Amino acid sequence: MDDKTRWNEKYKKRLDNERESSGANERLKYLSPYFNGGRAVDFAAGLGENSLFLARHGFDVQAFDISEIAVEHLSKKGEEEQLPLDAHVCDLTNLDRDLIGKDSADIAVIAYYLDRELIPFAMKTVKTGGFFFMETFFLAPGKEEEGVAKKYKLKPGELLSLFKEWHILYFEENEHEGRQTLFARKR
């Protein structure tokens, strides 16, 4: 089964089984006092809870995901709430880099998706003074074999090393949950 089919099935099942959304990422919500609106890019947006949250906080949001079902759901929610949201179906491994300009975003978000080739591109989309939020799985001691495959998990401290030139405003490696979270401002 290809990635697009797998994610379409996953999101269809999730939409069929859930009456209420799970809401935006808790750490992203916690960091919202930093948000002043502008332009946001949400990579691997899924059903779009982070995109909707950012749009409700004054951002014009460009969201990208491989699943037509997820993008259709997100687009519909954005239209219902009359939010400034533009959702695109695309395989992030083959993203048309011309869709997003360099130094054009006030915030870029990647949640629970890891493509090490996408991160440097996503970093370049953020303008000076803008923010980058990323949260995903990492190789927590004793949990290396749990959950997703190792290649989709960050190494301990990996985000810190990638963003060493940025001002780190929030960083957490939660070994119990096996996640790594970073929020940084571009210098």
Q: What is the dihedral of CA 142, 145, 151, 153, to 10 degrees?
A: -40
Q: pLDDT tens digits for the chain (187 residues)?
A: 888 888 989 898 888 887 556 799 999 999 999 999 999 999 999 999 999 999 999 999 999 999 999 999 999 999 999 999 999 999 998 887 777 888 999 999 999 999 999 999 999 999 999 999 999 999 999 988 999 999 999 999 999 999 999 999 999 999 999 999 999 999 9
Strand pairing category for 38-43 and 105-111:
parallel
pTM of the predicted structure, to 2 decimals: 0.93
What distance in Å separates the CA atoms of residue 59 and residue 70, rounded to the nearest whole number? 20
Amino acid in position 163: F
